[in-house]
């Protein structure tokens, strides 16, 4: 309570006493016990009312005990079961949860991790990848400001994400790795890595780079073979010893037939080699007979140009070149698509050349665009010229149906800059993105496509798309989402295939350790998205002739099916609507490669470094008796008594209102009883 409030309270007490004495003592001239009691009650009533008007504030301090957290992160990947450690993990968890001292001393929190991190103690050991770096990222967000020693049960073999040895440095908690797996070193041959381009071109040769590694103490000889079906395409003898434990082999293979071709690279196993799964690796190459060549025509330098070029060339079937207007006109027949970036007066010849070749184009407009020239060079749209700039946020049109668009969280992307005023189209358009200003969507297209005279065109009315690619990387640690978005737009513009009521989005090759998902869109006869149709996919394994049928599930404006449980192999598939009137077929291949079965031993070195750098201790799964004792006896993990101070105003104290009501009631009753009313 402040000094000022204390003074007001004393004055209120004096006023209350004075008024009570004036009414019952001075004015009545009586000194009986009844009048003294009435004086007391009236004084308390007036003083309480005045205190409510002053409303002093009091500090309310409460004490409580805060137990430390014990965070337990469990590797739920297939490698744990492959190393025969799954039962040991379950028994270890049972011992921890059954330890009454630990439960009394800690708040125990369980997490499992594979490719993602989940708050759970349910173990299946079926995750196809393990991302230990993500564990420390997620736990840092929750526990960095608390006392939370962390037990991590893992073999230390990471197959996905950033290196956890460096990411863990940002995690401010002691880590106690419990190491799963055998530490005995066995002689082992393995294909450490295989690098190959996903696409190759017909009648060319494509390189395959193989990194072969030997762990052992003897001199050994083996053979590397690359086969396709029953045909041996390459054979090579290799020799390893402790000082020459790795070799890089580069082989050029012929691309003789269009389509997806499967290959197998294999190191002939050693006698009595324990792990033979990592001796081979299957891979596939999609052989195509042409490459889409895209011209990005610009007379200005801008980061957008590099972002678009990199996004296009992320697909090896496409090549993008940044050229000037004159360079494009000189070599226009080399390109299948033109991207016109912020046209000005120099683009008159470019527009004439595109019109002559009847080429599709993608026009990007912005603050450096000469709008008078743009309005005069074509008649499909017209920009209202205001000579003022405006920033526009994108809003996805979920009813866009020309091709499948994945949501990049467009609402959260940085705005694009362009001319203030409406861009009015004189032809029917399909809007991909609407404009949004200050969070309010306006019915003007930011990105739209249209088809006229058997030609396709897209218009983006804004510059700064490089920020979208950067934002995509910040959110996903990858450019893939943005690059796929641009890739689908380029694929649509680089062909003139007739529009279909059923669109199916799939990859021709999938790795077996990634999610296999196929998306589809279905439209009614008016080409409006139909969310009431039932789509199914029938897959036939080319090797076994086994047929499998899956239904699609509606998700937002797409139909989706998850085929992640399919075994490796090549499949023919057909997607059909419920009445069977519309269908779409294709072929996909799932490569036979399990990254979680490539390891023979736990990565003891990295886990010991993790423990040392975080001031923790490493344990092996078969020797963890001392772990519980260390956690209980470490004074750094003691229960902490904390206090909480709340400032409570007197007006919130309900007992004071009750006291006022009691005093007024008692005063009235005494006066009534003694005939003073």
Residue 341: the pLDDT is: 94
Quick: pLDDT tens for 97-137.
Answer: 888 888 888 999 999 998 888 888 788 888 878 888 899 99
* pLDDT tens digits, 136-154: 999 998 888 888 999 999 9
Torsion-angle region of 181 (φ positive above 0: left; ψ -120 to 50: alpha; else: beta): left
Cα distance between the two ends of the chain: 40
Is residue 366 pLDDT above 70, yes or no? yes
pLDDT tens-place string over residues 16-25: 888 878 777 7
Higher pLDDT among residues 3 and 551, named by residue: 551
- Check: pTM over 0.85? Answer yes or no: no
Both structure tokens of 348: 């008159």
pLDDT at site 534: 87
Q: Which residues pair with 232 in a beta bridge?
A: 227
Fold classification of 68-184+601-638 (topology level): Rossmann fold (3.40.50)
499 pLDDT more than 70: no
Q: What is the CA radius of gyration of the chain?
A: 37
The pLDDT of residue 469 is 93
Element (H, E) at 416: strand 416-419
pLDDT score, position 318: 87
pLDDT at 593 over 70: no
Q: Which of 204, 492, 500, 197 is nearest to 336 (CA)?
A: 492
Token look-up 């017209």 returns 382
> Please, what is the Cα angle at 364 between 392 and 396, to 5 degrees?
45
State the pLDDT confidence band at 595, using cuts at 50, 70 and 90.
low
Where along the chain do its domains lie?
Answer: 3-60+645-673, 68-184+601-638, 188-288, 292-493, 502-595
Mean pLDDT of 330-338: 91
Q: Mind listing the pLDDT tens digit for each residue in 547-586? A: 999 999 888 778 898 887 788 788 899 999 887 678 888 8
Query: 292-493: which CATH architecture?
Result: 3-Layer(aba) Sandwich (3.40)
The residue-averaged pLDDT of 63-87 equals 85
pLDDT band per the 50, 70, 90 thresholds, residue 304: very high
Q: 538 falls in which pLDDT band (50, 70, 90)?
A: very high
All residues at 6 or more sequence positions from 390 whose CB lies less than 8 Å from its CB, including other chains: 417, 418, 419, 420, 437
pLDDT value of residue 72:
93
Residue 349: the pLDDT is 92
- Look at residue 498 in the predicted model and tell me its pLDDT: 65
- State which fold the 188-288 domain adopts: Immunoglobulin-like (2.60.40)
- Model pLDDT for residues 181-205, shown as the tens digit of each residue: 776 777 888 888 888 887 788 888 8
User: Is 90 exceeded by the pLDDT of residue 508?
Assistant: no
- Whose tokens are 């230990």? That residue is 132
**Token pair listed for 613:** 């750098």
Residue 344: its pLDDT value, please? 92
Nearest to 325 by CA among 367, 396, 373: 373
Asked whether the domain spanning 292-493 has the same topology as the one spanning 188-288, the reply is no
- 445, 461 contact by CB (below 8 A): yes
* Residues making up the chain, counted from first to last: 677
Please give the CATH number for the structural domain made up of 502-595: 2.60.40.10
- pLDDT recorded at residue 527: 65
Q: What is the DSSP string of 585-621?
A: EEEEEEE---GGGS-SS--HHHHHHHHHHTT---EET
pLDDT digits (tens, 9 = 90+) for 395-430: 998 878 777 787 788 888 899 999 888 889 999 999
8 A C-beta contact, residue 148 and residue 597 = no
Beta strands in 501-653 (DSSP E): 502-505, 509-511, 517-522, 536-541, 547-551, 553-555, 558-562, 569-576, 583-591, 619-620, 640-649
Question: Which helix (H) or strand (E) segment is 309 a member of?
Answer: helix 303-313
- pLDDT score of 653 more than 80: no
Query: Could you tell me if 251 and 205 are in contact, meaning their C-beta atoms sit under 8 angstroms apart?
Result: no
Mean pLDDT of the chain: 85
Determine the distance from the C-alpha atom of residue 463 to the mean position of all C-alpha atoms in its chain, rounded to a whole number.
Answer: 26
Q: Does the pLDDT of residue 475 top 90, yes or no?
A: no
Angle between the 33-54 and 654-673 helix axes, to the nearest 10 degrees? 150
pLDDT of 673 > 70? The answer is: yes
Percent of the chain with pLDDT strictly greater than 90? 25
């Amino acid at each position: 309570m402040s000094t000022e409030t204390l003074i007001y309270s004393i004055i209120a007490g004096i006023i209350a006493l004075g008024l009570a004495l004036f009414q019952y003592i001075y004015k009545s001239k009586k000194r009986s016990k009844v009048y003294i009691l009435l004086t007391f009650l009236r004084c308390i009533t007036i003083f309480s009312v005045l205190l409510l008007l002053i409303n002093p504030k009091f500090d309310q301090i409460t004490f409580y005990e805060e137990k430390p957290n014990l965070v337990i992160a469990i590797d739920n990947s297939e490698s744990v079961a492959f190393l025969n450690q799954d039962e040991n993990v379950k028994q270890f968890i049972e011992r921890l949860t059954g330890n009454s001292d630990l439960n009394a001393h800690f708040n125990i929190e369980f997490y499992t991790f594979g490719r993602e991190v989940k708050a759970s103690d349910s173990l299946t050991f079926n995750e196809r990848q393990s991302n230990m770096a993500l564990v420390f990222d997620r736990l840092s967000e929750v526990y960095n400001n608390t006392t939370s020693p962390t037990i991590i049960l893992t073999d230390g073999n990471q197959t996905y994400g950033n290196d956890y040895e460096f990411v863990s440095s940002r995690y401010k908690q002691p880590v106690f790795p419990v190491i799963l797996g055998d530490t005995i070193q066995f002689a082992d041959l393995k294909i450490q890595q295989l690098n190959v381009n996903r696409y190759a071109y017909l009648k060319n040769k494509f390189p395959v780079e193989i990194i072969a590694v030997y762990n052992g103490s003897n001199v050994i000889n083996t053979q590397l073979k690359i086969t396709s079906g029953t045909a041996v395409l390459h054979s090579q003898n290799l020799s390893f010893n402790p000082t020459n434990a790795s070799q890089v082999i580069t082989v050029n293979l012929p691309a003789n037939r269009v389509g997806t071709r499967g290959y197998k690279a294999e190191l002939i196993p050693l006698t009595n080699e324990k792990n033979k799964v990592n001796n081979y690796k299957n891979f596939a190459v999609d052989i195509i007979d042409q490459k889409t060549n895209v011209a990005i025509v610009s007379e200005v330098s801008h980061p957008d140009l590099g972002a678009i070029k990199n996004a296009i060339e992320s697909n090896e079937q496409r090549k993008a070149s940044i050229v000037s207007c004159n360079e494009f006109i000189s070599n226009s027949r080399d390109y299948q698509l033109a991207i016109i970036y912020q046209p000005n007066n120099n683009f008159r010849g470019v527009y004439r050349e595109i019109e002559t070749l009847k080429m599709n184009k993608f026009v990007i407009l912005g603050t450096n665009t000469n709008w008078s020239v743009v309005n005069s060079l074509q008649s499909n749209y017209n920009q209202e010229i205001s000579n003022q700039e405006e920033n526009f946020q994108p809003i996805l049109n979920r009813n866009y149906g020309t091709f499948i668009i994945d949501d990049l969280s467009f609402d959260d992307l940085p705005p694009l800059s362009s001319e203030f005023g409406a861009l009015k189209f004189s032809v029917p358009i399909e809007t991909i993105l609407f404009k949004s200003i200050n969070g309010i969507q306006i019915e003007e297209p930011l990105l739209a496509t249209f088809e006229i005279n058997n030609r396709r065109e897209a218009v983006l009315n804004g510059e700064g798309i490089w920020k979208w690619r950067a934002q995509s990387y910040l959110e996903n640690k990858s450019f893939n989402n943005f690059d796929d978005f641009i890739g689908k737009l380029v694929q649509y513009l680089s062909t003139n295939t007739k529009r279909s009521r059923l669109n199916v989005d799939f990859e021709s090759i999938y790795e077996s350790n990634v999610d296999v998902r196929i998306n589809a869109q279905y439209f009614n006869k008016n080409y409006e998205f139909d969310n009431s149709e039932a789509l199914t996919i029938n897959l036939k394994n080319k090797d076994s002739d086994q047929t499998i049928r899956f239904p699609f599930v509606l998700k937002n404006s797409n139909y989706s099916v998850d085929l992640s449980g399919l075994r490796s192999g090549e499949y023919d598939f057909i997607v059909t609507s419920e009445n069977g009137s519309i269908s779409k077929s294709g072929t996909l291949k799932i490569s036979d490669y399990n990254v979680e079965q490539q390891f023979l031993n736990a990565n003891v070195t990295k886990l010991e470094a993790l423990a040392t750098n975080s001031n923790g201790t490493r344990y092996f799964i078969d020797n963890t008796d001392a772990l519980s004792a260390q956690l209980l006896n470490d004074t750094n993990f003691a229960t902490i008594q904390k206090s909480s101070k709340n400032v409570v105003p007197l007006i919130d104290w309900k007992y004071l209102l009750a006291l006022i009501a009691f005093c007024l009631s008692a005063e009235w009753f005494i006066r009534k009883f003694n005939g003073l009313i």
